[in-house]
Amino acid sequence: MNNIKTIVSKNSLDVAEAIDYVSSPSHGAIDTFIGTVRNNHQGKEVTGITYDAHKILAEKAFQEICVEAQGFWPETQYYVAHYQGELEVGGMSIIIAVGSPHRAESFDACRYVIEEIKKRSPIWKKEHYIDEKSDWLPGHSLIAEAEASQSCCGHCGGEASGS
């Protein structure tokens, strides 16, 4: 039990579940971040966003990021859920809740988790516009993650090799 729960789901996200998960008698603070679909982007009127995700690797990335955050801010507890599918304007795409003994570490850890998720989690957005056109948004390459991967090269017969 590492006090981290991560979910990529096609079901609506649940703020109460997030807060409940990170609540503890020893915690004096819970910080939450909720990402929602905005009705505009770079001058275009947005009607919705489709979120595509590699569920297994996204949940794994969330776990790794939260474990890192626990290293920086001990005694913190994490709930991270990301929606997969299409949302209209105002829909909740992500909930991050961090519980901690004091407020400073929950603010800092919550910010760390969302910023790292944006750079490192295999999730993609397709924006839908008022003129019925759609665009996949550009993002951060995962090449640095690949080179830092724990996967063996495949030559040496390690666990993750292709032989």
Partner 1 sequence: MSTLVLPIKFFGMFRKFGKQVEVEIPSGSSVLEIKSMIIQKLGAENKDLVDSSVLANTTDILPDAYIFNEVQNLSILPPVCGG
Task: Return the number of other C-beta atoms located less than 10 Å from residue 4's C-beta.
Answer: 20
Instruction: Kindly tell me which of 24 and 92 has the beta carbon lying closer to partner 1.
Output: 92
Select the span of 38-46, 63-71, 103-111, 130-138 touching partner 1 (CB under 8 A): 130-138
Task: Return the number of other C-beta atoms located less than 10 Å from residue 76's C-beta.
Answer: 26
Binding of residue 65 to partner 1 (CB under 8 A): no
Token pair recorded at residue 76? 């913190």
Binding of residue 87 to partner 1 (CB under 8 A): no
Rounded to whole angstroms, the Cα distance separating 163 from 159 reads 9
Q: 């920086």: which residue's tokens?
A: 72
Full DSSP string of 6-56: EEEESSPP-HHHHHHHH--TT--EEEEEEEE--SEETTEEEEEEEEEE-HH
Binding of residue 133 to partner 1 (CB under 8 A): no
Q: Which amino acid is at 156?
A: C
Q: What's the Cα-to-Cα distance from 87 to each of 75, 81, 96, rounded to whole Å?
A: 34, 15, 18
Q: Which of 54, 85, 92, 111 binds partner 1 (CB under 8 A)?
A: 54
The mark string for 96-125 relative to partner 1 (x by CB under 8 A, - otherwise) is: ------------------x--xxxxxxxxx
Question: From the CB of 30, what's the least distance to partner 1, in Å?
Answer: 20
Question: From the CB of 102, what's the least distance to partner 1, in Å?
Answer: 26
Select the span of 9-17, 22-30, 98-106, 151-159 touching partner 1 (CB under 8 A): 151-159
Q: List contacts with partner 1 (CB under 8 A).
A: 35, 51-54, 56-58, 60, 82, 93-94, 114, 117-126, 136-143, 145-147, 149-155, 160-163
